[in-house]
Amino acid sequence: MEEKDPDELFDKAKKKLDPGFFKSIFSDQGHRVEKAINYFNEAAEIYKLKKEWLKAGDCYIEIANLKEQQKEDPCGIYNNAILCYNKGGAKDKYYPLIDKIIGINVKAGFFSYSAELTFEKAQKLLETANNDPKKIQEVLDTYDKSLDYYEMDPNSSEAKVIVVKEAKADLITLNGIKEEIPRAKAYYEDIANYYLKSKSGRIFSVDYFAKIIFIYLAYDDYITAKAFLNKYYGEDKNFYRSDVAYFLENLIKCFENDGADIKDEDIDTEDNILNFDVACKLYKKKIKNNKKQWDNWKIVMVDKIGKKLSSMKKEKEYDDDDDDMK
């Protein structure tokens, strides 16, 4: 059987919608629209087989527009268009379309679904943000919209809310947006407490309490970090026993000694020296089979902490040399 030409099907659909004066008088409009939708849909399927994604997406847009005119829900068809545009790399078409779908769902009161779509949009924006402050802010604003929509639905999933909170907190901390750091800490604490409520999820709370301590060490001060470390020990027994907590204790010791080497009997090395590099090696050795613990976020934070300690160490050495000269 000879394959139909999708371009011809597309043209047939257009002609059905614009039949001319005499045909429009003597033909049923509803029937013509239905035939046009069938032609557009058939064309879209063939375009997809040919991997002509943009043309397939355009067919679905035509169908969705007709559905809207008929007061039918067009969102499923718009979603098909988005999938095609994504595969075709047409990001310029994606954003107006996702905004349209979100608008339709907000108007219909489907707030949780609107929140999911808005989060999806934020993740797309993040892919091309490339550390540009304006683009990063746009992503953060989009995360906020997603959280707002979840808040508007009293039955929204708490699990989905914390996914958005974690994404926003990670973006804030990785980019060092200092005015937003307190919000990031609050989000991580929310997530840790969420997992603490679940017997099966308690193990995950450790990572989020740890993230708060990492943030204090990277952006604030080690004295407050130590206070919060002890606070979380009282709230989460798993945290107290964890390798990451031991690592954080060692980092705090490094800060207490202004980044200089420490003679420490608890450190199992030949000369019992503790410094930033030794602390990191000990931690990585303990968690070498657990990639989740030593993830990209922690690597970035540890790098920031290392630079902070290095600066403190240089200042201490400078002050010591100055005292010797006196």
Q: Looking at residue 4, what is its pLDDT?
A: 85
Helix (H, G, I), strand (E, B) or coil at 295: coil
Provide the pLDDT for residue 1.
Answer: 44
- pLDDT digits 0-9 by tens, 279-313: 888 888 877 666 565 678 989 999 999 999 998 88
Residue 99 maps to a domain: yes
pLDDT, the chain, mean = 88
pLDDT score at 325: 53
- Beta strands 262-263 and 273-274: pairing type? antiparallel
CA distances from 38 to 12, 14, 82, 225, 305 (A): 10, 11, 19, 64, 61
Q: SS3 of 273, please? A: strand
pLDDT tens-digit series, residues 109-141: 999 999 999 999 999 999 989 989 999 999 999
Any residues with CB less than 8 A from the CB of 179 and at least 6 apart, and which? none
| Residues forming beta bridges with residue 274, ordered by sequence position | 262
pTM above 0.75, yes or no: yes
Mean pLDDT of 308-322: 75
Q: Could you tell me the pLDDT band of residue 318, with boundaries at 50, 70 and 90?
A: low
Determine how many CB atoms are found less than 10 A away from the CB of residue 283: 21
Does residue 315 belong to any structural domain of this protein?
no
Indicate the SS3 state at residue 26: helix
In a domain, 51, yes or no: yes
23-51 pLDDT tens trace: 454 456 778 889 999 999 999 999 999 99
Position 303 in a domain: no
Number of domains in the chain: 1
Domain assignment present for residue 170? The answer is no
First to last CA, the chain: 98
pLDDT of the residue at 198: 84
pLDDT for residue 32: 84
Judge whether 76 and 110 are in contact, CB under 8 Å.
Answer: no
Convert the pLDDT of each residue in 183-209 to its tens digit: 999 999 999 999 999 888 888 899 999
Cα dihedral across residues 235, 240, 245, 249: positive or negative: positive
Residue 200, domain member (yes or no): no
- Residues spanned by the domain of 24: 1-108
What is residue 19's predicted lDDT score, i.e. its pLDDT?
A: 60
Does 40 map to a domain? yes
Domain CATH code at residue 83 = 1.25.40.10
Q: Residue 175: pLDDT above 80?
A: yes
The answer to the question of residue 6 being in a domain is yes
